[in-house]
Structure 1
């Protein structure tokens, strides 16, 4: 009996572990595609700068235990210190810097934020913003090459040959294509011999830098890493150099293959990745949020070095770039060095935004895929941009429904009814600079159907419209929001990221700190009002990923 029981227990545990691992892998893919955007270097895709003890533990503990609505006095002294130690300035060419002094440790985090992403790409050129981000690590005429004078003619010749190959393929001249491709491969080998692989990364690492990385989202491209504080000038030199004279054609065609493989891995060969792409395309009809940041396969294949250079010249102008520097620095020294290094950038007009407005959705949309996958259910609703007065209300709604094990979706769908292995949601999909979606998703439990999940999920959404949220529940999620924000700002890089998001998307970094006041002011009546206006059948997009 003991042996049988043990064997049975082992089988049960093994099955649970299989389900958990499968769920973990699927959720990792989902979160990577949705939250992280594209372009993180694989080896540090999920790496973050370690948190520094910049927020007193008493501040966080107090903020977590304070349940009175509107009361953030426990962390106000911390916020006041941050604002007091923050300096901002703009160079004559229009480039802006935000500097926050934090002297608790001799380290500094740097984040260069280009106000350009997937939504800014021309039709037929999807993926160009992400492609450019990859090439920004290839170096300059002085970094990444052993002999640029010898390399440049080869790079120019490769571009010309690529144009000829494209034309020959269009004319179906098979023999000529083969001949040109042979020449291309020979020249590419010669050019590769002159490349110093990852020299930028090596310089950063040898100087004690960590977290060299970048990512591209629907509306921004970010370049980040951290250095010891005595390497401030080295960062100024390296970062200004790579955007002053980038060699965007270096290893261009090899990098194209890397990106195509990345798309195959995370979209074509990923059921949930493919589902997200189809779902977004259904939810949007005109706004470029409907397009994948990595780009469509055909567009990526047709991109040329000239496309990348034109995009760079259009959007990487000084007035479209903002830098955050957080850590052990002297703002006066930062400004002096910024003028020396980044002041070299010539002032150029900022590209005019021409983003089409998404028309109001008037009926339910649905997309269904049948693939070799565990079943998933997605449900999205259009909502306003981050600058809308109800932004804090949407934040609270998202937390009520899906913030951890105490959330309504988890307790109902996962814990009580056991319909799903995971059930969550969030605002700001696939971005939040423009009107976007509040997205809910669930991984269906074995033996359950997506339709059962849909009914249960919608029941919880309807409760927000018909039942007033209790004061205790509302206070709990407000406390969570306050604590999470303070903890996120605890690291230098976390602070740099949040400052820039609010500076660029809302017009001022100060709105980051006003967020706490706005969250505290949300009432139960606000939750009902916004829920009734948002969660309607005509505003709903449904995605069903069914098992094959």
Structure 2
């Protein structure tokens, strides 16, 4: 499945429901929570403005759950989820299944021979590879390409897609209200009977994706090296797409093992928002999803990144323009300081009136681009507050770095004007209100809150918390986290410039 970018707002700040007359305080009486006996949670919200519904599945597992040697497994699992089942995506599953089993056997033989290194029988390898390719072609004749997607789109679905981040895997779509039962039937079927067809073909697709976005991309390579430097223990340091050597050696057995371990009902939350009759939706949920077997699943990552003992630096040389990335370790979104980082990020880099843009782009003209990212690469676990900059020639990356450090130091000693702070809070509030104006936006936030905060009701609590942030909080957080010892700096430098 080809993926579009998917941004889930990091701290739920002011996720206020005030669209079409629904106020923040009325959410408690509007959301219906229903948990099946197998542990799968449904969150339902009625909106009858149009005969459409948004469906959002949040699987509480992401690429941070990949194991060393199997990096990329969460990502490829998401891709394979669109390949169908024994009844969807094939013209003859019985015949196809025999070929899929043979493919897996051939790959294991190829892998075993390759493991011999210099002693590998090259003639045998070539023969196995030819047989593998022929079997793959034979299996392809039974494949109905994009069958799941075509069924949904033929029934009026829009925005059908998925995404895998470090923290979660999400599947989402909007469709006519009278097609909701079709969606439920198809989703429950693929959760219960996913078939890893075209696995080896998809593995090559992901390898090519990695080559384009990372290996052949200077900034992609820089970010990968930056994260590997910033995290020495926690899997946030792994590339989300996976290391190339891991991807090319992933197996169907590993994928199905991952799927069974993490795609368990109690590890998923489904939100359905729109023109619905909740009682009818619950009936359908019980009918289609209630048959999924309960399985033990524990997606928690117990590895804790140790406190950084000093500044870390990494440099990537490329025939490209310079690029600067600075990261400071910060707590997860469940920490009391989380919302303060959102306000700091808005102050520093949101729009042309932000501090970094005014001071470094307009006044000093030392940069052509400055940006902050409030939580990267994840948010469920302690993560990074990032600052990115691109110097404007003839200014150097050293000059831009010094200027950015100076701006961060100001946060520690200069109190933010109360009027400016209130304006930031108002703007953040407006942005979050807008993020919930659509059915899909609300569905995404409900599943996020339930999965990460443990309760969708935490959405409303963010409203009051953000209003309590003071200028003193901003200075305190800046002093605590924006220190030399706590930072990692990455430079992209032009290898042809001395």
TM-score above 0.5: yes
User: Within 5 Å, which residues of 2 pair with 1:426-437?
Assistant: 426-437=373-384
The structure with higher relative contact order (CA 8 Å, sep 6+) is 2
Q: Does 1:94 align with 2:39?
A: yes
Q: Does 1:470 align with 2:431?
A: no
What residue ranges of structure 2 are gaps of 5+ in the alignment?
9-16
Residues of 1 paired with 2:444 and 2:321: CA distance?
34
Residues of 2 paired with 1:243 and 1:265: CA distance?
31
How many residues are treated as equivalent by the alignment?
Answer: 484
2:19–2:436 Cα contact (<8 Å) kept = no
Kindly provide the CA deviation profile for residues 472-526 of structure 1, in whole angstroms up to 9, marking residues without a partner as x.
1111110111000000011111111111111111111111222121111001111
1:178 aligned residue (126, 149, 158) = 126
Residues of 1 paired with 2:19 and 2:32: CA distance?
22
Residues of 2 paired with 1:240 and 1:444: CA distance?
51
1:545 aligned residue (470, 474, 492) = 492
1:402–1:426 Cα contact (<8 Å) kept = no
SS in 1 for 2:289: helix
Residues of 1 paired with 2:301 and 2:344: CA distance?
31
Q: Which runs of 4+ in 1 moved over 4 A?
A: 44-48, 54-57
Q: Does 1:324 align with 2:271?
A: yes
Partner residue, 2:11: none
Kindly provide the CA deviation profile for residues 227-260 of structure 1, in whole angstroms up to 9, marking residues without a partner as x.
1011110111011111110002x00111011000
1:410–1:423 Cα contact (<8 Å) kept = yes
After superposition, the Cα gap between the structure-2 partners of 1:134 and 1:94, relative to the gap in structure 1 and judged at 3 Å, is: same
What residue ranges of structure 1 are gaps of 5+ in the alignment?
1-39, 49-53, 60-76
Alpha-carbon offset, residue 319 of structure 1: 0.5
The alignment's TM-score, normalised by the length of structure 1, stands at: 0.86
CA RMSD of aligned residues (A): 1.5
SS in 2 for 1:140: coil
Residues of 2 paired with 1:353 and 1:388: CA distance?
17
Alpha-carbon offset, residue 349 of structure 1: 1.1
2:380–2:452 Cα contact (<8 Å) kept = yes
Partner residue, 1:460: 407
Alpha-carbon offset, residue 449 of structure 1: 1.0
1:491 aligned residue (428, 438, 449) = 438
Partner residue, 2:92: 147
Partner residue, 1:351: 298
2:25–2:460 Cα contact (<8 Å) kept = no
Alpha-carbon offset, residue 547 of structure 1: 1.8
Partner residue, 2:465: 518
Residues of 2 paired with 1:251 and 1:497: CA distance?
30
User: Within 5 Å, which residues of 2 pair with 1:256-295?
Assistant: 256-295=203-242
SS in 1 for 2:290: helix
Alpha-carbon offset, residue 81 of structure 1: 3.8
Which structure dedicates a bigger proportion of its chain to helix?
Answer: 1
Residues of 2 paired with 1:97 and 1:517: CA distance?
26
2:19–2:437 Cα contact (<8 Å) kept = no
Q: Does 1:115 align with 2:67?
A: no
SS in 2 for 1:302: coil
Partner residue, 1:504: 451
Residues of 2 paired with 1:85 and 1:41: CA distance?
34
Partner residue, 2:111: 166
The alignment's TM-score, normalised by the length of structure 2, stands at: 0.95
